[in-house]
């Protein structure tokens, strides 16, 4: 290959799409088993490559030259084949710094925990030191290479103020994993996670739920790619271009999740806005019917609300890895925190706020089949919808205006 990215497992990678937006060359994603890395590096059959987990340190012995920043960190994620020599760089340093700036997370005079022992963790440690952290502790399961254990972090460093996750814990295809529980670190005021797939890891979601500034790794991925392009081609990439590509990739991957009362229009409006945005469409109630082979009133009659909610939760979990999709949810989907967590991983939640007097009762909604029940559900759930939503569309206008407002809120 001429340009590309190497790593051990790359099914989660967005790098090909990012480089396609930043430059005009062909960029290849290549998974390389550990026992084939030496042969690949010795062959030198590339112009320039990015390097990701777990090879950011393993490639160093094959280099002829190494940039001072990469040498100081001890990790390389960009290699350029120039004049017969392999030259290594670390653009993750720029990417991590840019991520923290965009997330409004300051490290000066703070205690920082860096989770992980690999190349990305060494980069995060270097960034923290460069940004004036008071203390930096790297954390790993085995406490090797100068790290402390997770138990030591929990018991001896509960006063940590910043957590930087440089592990793959929580990355697709295991998005429900989380490296630490933030309840063990009550003084944390900033979290940055190098994970970008899902867009918001469990760690980021927990931090945001606690009112802590938190950001996932997509912006870092784009920023480090831009820095790599500069080394690949010798051309500059400005900050506006990084922001443009970041927003494009985010919107290409992100779901629009519609929440609201039965009859508010999640299905009707959802199909229309999906067509407008060129996105797929999924209705969770339709998925429940397909999964069970039964209509929703029949499920309620046989299993009650609790049985129905279990089925609904299983459907929501099955959609956690879906991307670029408009997801219309049932009126009670927001009642379970686990549902919201799964939907937020890749989704932006929109509350379709239709006035009570504009909602219509139907027999296929057992919990709101008459006016009295509908009013009761509205009073029970309204504040929950408001709290869950990333943005709200007041459905008092015509359909076209509602759809424009949904699109605008999603793309912001």
Point out the residues that are catalytic: 56
Kindly list the distances between the CA atom of residue 286 and the CA atoms of 292, 327, 354, in Å, as whole numbers in the listed order. Answer: 10, 11, 22
| CA atoms of 138 and 113, how far apart (whole Å) | 6
| CA atoms of 161 and 207, how far apart (whole Å) | 12
Q: For residue 345, what are its two tokens?
A: 């991983």
Kindly list the distances between the CA atom of residue 86 and the CA atoms of 1, 80, 111, 235, 403, in Å, as whole numbers in the listed order. Answer: 15, 6, 37, 19, 52
Q: What is the DSSP code (8-state) at residue 356? A: G
Q: For residue 43, what are its two tokens?
A: 């062959």
What element of type H or E holds 370? none
| CA atoms of 121 and 141, how far apart (whole Å) | 13
Compute the radius of gyration of the chain from its Cα atoms. Answer: 24
Cβ-contact 214, 190 below 8 angstroms: yes
| CA atoms of 400 and 248, how far apart (whole Å) | 24
The β-bridge relationship of strands 78-82 and 48-51 is: antiparallel
Answer positive or negative: Cα dihedral of 318, 320, 324, 326: positive
């Amino acid at each position: 290959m001429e340009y590309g990215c190497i790593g051990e497992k790359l099914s989660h990678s967005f790098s090909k799409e990012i480089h396609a937006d930043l430059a005009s060359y062909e960029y290849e994603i290549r998974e390389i088993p550990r026992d084939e890395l030496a042969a690949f590096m010795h062959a030198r059959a590339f112009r320039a490559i990015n390097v990701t987990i777990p090879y950011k340190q393993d490639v160093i012995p094959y280099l002829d030259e190494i940039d001072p920043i990469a040498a100081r960190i001890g990790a390389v994620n960009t290699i350029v084949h120039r004049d017969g020599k392999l030259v290594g760089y670390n653009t993750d340093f720029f990417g991590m710094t840019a991520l923290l700036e965009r997330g409004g997370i300051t490290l000066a005079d703070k205690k920082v925990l860096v989770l992980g022992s690999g190349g990305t963790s060494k980069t995060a440690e270097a960034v923290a030191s460069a940004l004036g952290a008071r203390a930096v502790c790297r954390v790993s399961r085995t406490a090797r290479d100068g790290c402390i254990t997770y138990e030591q972090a929990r018991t001896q460093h509960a006063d940590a103020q910043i957590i930087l996750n440089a592990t793959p814990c929580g990355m697709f295809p295991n998005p429900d994993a989380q490296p630490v529980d933030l309840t063990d670190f009550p003084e944390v005021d900033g979290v940055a996670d190098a994970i970008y797939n899902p867009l918001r890891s469990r760690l980021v979601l927990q931090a945001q739920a606690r009112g802590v500034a938190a950001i996932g790794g997509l912006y870092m991925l784009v920023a480090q790619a831009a820095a790599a392009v500069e080394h690949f081609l010798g051309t500059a990439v400005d900050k506006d271009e990084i922001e443009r590509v970041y927003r494009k990739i985010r919107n290409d991957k992100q779901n629009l999740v519609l929440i609201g009362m039965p009859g508010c229009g999640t299905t009707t409006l959802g199909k229309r806005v999906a067509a407008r945005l060129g996105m797929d469409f999924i209705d969770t109630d339709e998925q429940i019917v397909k999964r069970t082979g039964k209509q929703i009133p029949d499920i309620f009659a046989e299993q009650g609300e609790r049985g129905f909610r279990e089925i609904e939760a299983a459907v929501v979990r099955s959609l956690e890895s879906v991307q670029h999709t408009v997801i219309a949810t049932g009126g009670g989907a927001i009642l379970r925190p686990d549902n919201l967590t799964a939907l937020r991983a890749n989704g932006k939640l929109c509350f379709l706020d239709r006035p009570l007097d504009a909602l219509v009762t139907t027999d296929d909604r057992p919990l709101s089949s008459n006016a009295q029940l509908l009013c009761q559900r509205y009073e029970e759930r309204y504040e929950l919808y408001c709290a869950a939503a990333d943005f709200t569309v007041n459905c008092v206008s015509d359909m076209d205006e509602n759809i424009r407002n949904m699109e605008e809120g999603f793309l912001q």
